[in-house]
Amino acid sequence: MSNILNVKDLCKTYIINKRQNNVLRNVNFSVEEGEMVAVMGPSGSGKSTLLYTVSGMDDMTAGTVEFVGRDISKLKAKELAQVRLDEMGFIFQQMYMLRNLNVLDNIILPARQSRANTLSKKEKTERGKELMRKLGIIEIADNDINEVSGGQLQRACICRSMMNKPKMIFADEPTGALNRTSSDEVMEELRKINKDGTTIMLVTHDAKVAAKCTRVMYIVDGNIKGEYNLGGYESETELRDRDRSLNNWLIEQGW
């Protein structure tokens, strides 16, 4: 498989009160098409900054980030915004949705904003409904966003991230605000999307979430300290074994 993301010597520096804060320091890694990669590390290690920088949501200070063969640091603001809209999907811990729209209208909003999505208005609506059916939430299509559970709303966010058939999804603590049951349900949906071919990179503090990914990168003080390749799995027995082995590795890393 070819790499969908290549990160070389990536640095991110913030200037706070005339002092430099080097959040990312010469980070190098690649993500292959079809991978599901988790980023873990202690609080303040640079996990979310890494996700935001490689997805073009935040500017990099130095280095290169190639997404599908293009260096996103060389794209103009409008070009980069178009790439994020048409070729990337985003899921966050805080489930940002517009309160004046119902759940379905929130889901199909990216498709309506995209120039590259050539579906008719009716076809976009049908795609939104199809995604909701796949994720088992079609019954909340007409609900306001304050009328549904956190787990349902996060699955709606997954639907929204898939509207323009992205090449890669970036997720920042997608289960962080959910209880264990809802977290497991959301991760199962992300696994299905990944098995269907969509590449996923997610930040998590939860080892049980990371154990469901194919690879884990551990970041400390803005550097990737180590990587742990888990591969795929089929059964719950395998998952328990992965959970144990990943936890042992994380302890070795200083988790």
Whether residue 32 contacts residue 231, with contact meaning beta carbons closer than 8 Å, is answered with no
What confidence score (pLDDT) does residue 15 get?
84
Q: What are phi and psi of 196, to 5 degrees?
A: -80, -5
- CA dihedral 172→90→34→69, nearest 10 degrees, is -110
Identify the band that residue 243 occupies on the pLDDT scale cut at 50, 70 and 90: very high
Nearest to 104 by CA among 152, 65, 68, 72: 152
Separation of alpha carbons 39 and 13, rounded Å = 20
* Per-residue model confidence as pLDDT tens digits over 28-42: 999 999 999 999 999
What confidence score (pLDDT) does residue 19 get?
82
Residue 1 has pLDDT above 80, yes or no: no
Alpha helical stretches, state H, 176-235: 180-195, 207-210
Return the structure tokens found at 71. 């260096």
Place of tokens 């997608």: 174
Q: For 3-253, CATH number?
A: 3.40.50.300
Q: What are phi and psi of 4, to 5 degrees?
A: -90, -25
Average pLDDT over residues 93-102: 89
What confidence score (pLDDT) does residue 98 get?
93
Residue 229 has pLDDT above 90, yes or no: yes
What confidence score (pLDDT) does residue 195 get?
93
| Rg for the chain, CA atoms, rounded | 18
* Contacts of 78 by beta carbon, 8 Å cutoff, 6+ apart: none
Separation of alpha carbons 72 and 56, rounded Å = 7
